[in-house]
A and B are shown apart, each in its own frame.
Chain A
């Protein structure tokens, strides 16, 4: 199991240094991200908020090693990102479960790819599914799950490898509002327990404030950082925290950063 608490000299787990991204050829190119820099300590929950199409997902995909960087450097655990790393888990907007695999087989998929010990991880997978309230569904196929359940399975699958870094690309945006609240509570509970370093992309201001230790706000394209807020609300947070003046002050600040 990988959990070496890797940090670089500055103590940051993720370092994004002067990163830019340009799509397309020189003559006809789109500048997506311009000189973004931030450092993320071990165990911090960071949300990145921005208008749609601003390149926040692009930034996450570069941290994940799934997209090349045009300029600048990204380091994870002190190492420059050159491609996907097995110490990361990425969660996408859609659950991307394999329809031919049962829920349990889907959760064990990364272990299969890593050629790990499936027998040893099976108990762990069942424990994660129990935590997500899905123990009775472990032998079902994904088509028998609701959207929220499928995304929970996807979360279990992201946790089975005990990742150092959890990269989440608008994972709840396809869910209805009530399910979304449930997922937020669940993610918070999981975070209390595992203390992963998390980069969470969202376009929901309230979701970002509710979940995060820190929120970075990006401008429209080309994206630059316009706000970098530390969310100082006591944990564990309940849904009721969303009614407090402090919570709404943070939301207002982010909204101001987005220019609305």
Chain B
């Protein structure tokens, strides 16, 4: 028996990578520096708070209005998650149908492409006329924005399977369903996960723009109303919290991705 060359054992790729102290400290320092620059720019240049309040004023606004902001943030986050989930499921199923049947592809693809080229934000007023000022309109707007990237990414994954893997499965007389479930779907998972991340990112835009127009709830409403009352600190507080929500969603998806696509070490 010839012994194979033993590669150095490595940490299992599905374990979270070790958090390097440097990797946390450097972004924190940059964050702090930006905050300080902002603070001194505003105070030294005597920028009126209506135009741009300093970071301390924004922080105060967040603390003072925490009840209002928390309620709005929960509403916005819920709608982001809902819109993402709907777009992910619908987008994946569409891609699946297209990947299986060239007929479906020819039938639906032009319309899917249209969801990409039509400026969805321009549809917002019509959506409100049709579906009213409420969650429904916002979800539909976010869905229209988020659906396309999910379809395209899932499709790239499902059609991009290594053909030699498929041929190997065929050599075992595997059924088309087995090939789909055991070969094409797992092979598509990395693309599907990227699709989900892009979809979640644009769903944030869809929901917030929806809240600007259908102003019954959410952080978009807070931003619109605080702008009207010239409470710029609260407006910026709203922006900061939306950004934090976006980071939270993407961070959560990053963690999920690391567990689902555990075999891709570079991710």
Please list the residues of chain A having a beta carbon within 8 angstroms of any beta carbon in chain B: 64, 66, 83-86, 88-90, 92, 94, 96, 98-100, 109-110, 112-114, 131, 133-134, 136, 141, 143-146, 148-149, 152, 182, 185-186
CB-based contact A113/B182 at 8 Å: yes
CB-based contact B172/A182 at 8 Å: no
CB-based contact B4/A64 at 8 Å: no
> Interface residues of B toward A: which range?
20 to 34
Q: How far is the CB of A200 from chain B (nearest CB, A)?
A: 16
Closest chain A residue, CB of each to CB of B6? A136
CB-based contact A133/B178 at 8 Å: no
Is residue B46 contacting chain A, with contact meaning CB distance below 8 A?
Answer: no
Q: Which of A113, A114, A144 contacts B10 (CB 8 A)?
A: A144
- Chain B binding surface SS class: loop
**Residues in chain A near residue B7, CB distance under 8 A:** 144-146
Please list the residues of chain B having a beta carbon within 8 angstroms of any beta carbon in chain A: 1-7, 10, 13, 162, 164-165, 167-174, 178, 182-183, 186-187, 189, 262-265
Sample of 5 A–B contacts (CB below 8 Å): A66-B167, A66-B170, A90-B168, A100-B263, A146-B7
Known A-B contacts: A66-B171, A84-B170, A86-B172. Give 12 more (CB < 8 A): A84-B171, A90-B168, A96-B165, A98-B165, A100-B263, A110-B172, A113-B169, A131-B1, A133-B3, A145-B7, A146-B5, A185-B2
CB-based contact B182/A90 at 8 Å: no
**Residues in chain A near residue B10, CB distance under 8 A:** 144
Closest chain A residue, CB of each to CB of B167? A66
Q: How far is the CB of B173 from chain A (nearest CB, A)?
A: 4
Closest chain B residue, CB of each to CB of A64? B171
**Residues in chain B near residue A66, CB distance under 8 A:** 167, 170-171
Q: How far is the CB of A259 from chain B (nearest CB, A)?
A: 31
**Residues in chain A near residue B178, CB distance under 8 A:** 113
